[in-house]
Structure 1
Amino acid sequence: MGRARVADHHEIVRLGADSPHLARVAAWQHAEWAHLSPGETLASRRAALRGECGPAGIPSVFLALALGRPVGTASLVAHDLDPRPALSPWLASVYVLPEWRGQGIASGLVRRVEAEAAGNRIGRLYLFTPDQQALYRRLGWQDHETLVHHGETVTLMIRRLPLQGS
């Protein structure tokens, strides 16, 4: 229970606050996006991530495992883009180790977050990305606006989710 198969030898699991993988995921996030969170340290990223590891709904963090080894992550969080505080919730922190890219892991992580949102009666998600617009468009996301965030041009995207029983 709580596991989704992505591809051969890949699965997606919920990351718990007490997971031995939490420090590694925080390090990935800090290395990849520290420039978008000025003043954030690795220790503060680890503490924030621990707080995002909810049991269901918002917040939630998911971990892709390949043969038991962490290879990717994605989160469902209430807020992710300071200049747009009214927009919520967000698909955030989608990351796959470079050597594991191109195998559908990111798509699987995105779909898992979307399923978590839809299962909690959330009909709309947001994300922002500087360079992965094509991936998200293939997965049904639409461009919402372009803006500059901490000196980087990003695309804010939206996804309307079908709700079961609607």
Structure 2
Amino acid sequence: MGDNSGPPALFHRMAPTANLRIERLTPDADMVDTVADWTRAAWGHLNPEITRAAWRIETCDNAGPAGVPSTFVAWLDGRPVGTASLVAHDMKTRTDLTPWLASVYVEPTARGRGVASALVRRVENEARSAGLAHFYLYTPDQQRLYARLGWEPVEQAGYLGERVTIMKRQLDARSA
């Protein structure tokens, strides 16, 4: 589902807040609707045929107990501000690549405070705990963010009407 995680490069990064926590989303959590609404608002235009109800079901399906799939919610100063997931597949055209960091979203008011980076690190730790050697993502515009976090570009591709970069993160002793 790409990402919508950060401010344009011209914005200055603010210091991260100590009041940031990241929690696992469970299928029965009150936050399922919020996460589904965030991600549908960010990427629903790429799949306009998918209803809100179907988007919610997919959000529940991605809220696994551990490993793949897993979804996380970032809380800043006691309010939910972002999400990210670890899923088996995120690009219908690249089912040969698995698993994926997906749906990295941070509310506009919380961007530039390290929330996206913290979410990515949490998903990375989940992938490592699951014994994964690597995982992928795609992004139309956040290559610099992910490169700073250790992701390497794999290829450029057209996907759902966008030009995207597929990136890979190796998970080995050097990335721990």
TM-score by length of 1: 0.92
- The answer for unaligned runs of 5 or more in structure 2 is 1-15
- The answer for unaligned runs of 5 or more in structure 1 is 1-5
2:39 is aligned to 29
Correspondence for 2:30 among 1, 6, 20: 20
3-state SS of 2:28 partner = coil
Taking the TM superposition and a 5 Å limit, the aligned residue runs for 1:5-154 are 7-154=17-164
Seq. identity, %: 51
Q: State the alpha-carbon separation in 2 of the partners of residues 150 and 59 from structure 1.
A: 23
| Aligned CA distance change for structure 1 residues 47 and 151 (closer, same or farther; 3 Å) | same
Q: State the alpha-carbon separation in 2 of the partners of residues 46 and 73 from structure 1.
A: 14
Q: How much is the aligned-residue C-alpha RMSD, in angstroms? A: 1.5
The answer to whether the 8 Å contact 1:121/1:163 transfers is no
- 1:34 is displaced (CA, Å) by 1.2
Q: Which runs of 4+ in 1 moved over 6 A?
A: none
3-state SS of 2:35 partner = helix
Higher relative contact order (CA 8 A, sep 6+): 2
- The one-letter code matched in structure 1 to 2:56 is R
Q: State the alpha-carbon separation in 2 of the partners of residues 39 and 143 from structure 1.
A: 30
Q: Describe the superposition over 1:93-114 as per-residue Cα deviations: whole angstroms up to 9, x where unpaired.
A: 0000001000100000000000
TM-score by length of 2: 0.87
- 1:38 is displaced (CA, Å) by 4.0
Q: State the alpha-carbon separation in 1 of the partners of residues 78 and 173 from structure 2.
A: 32
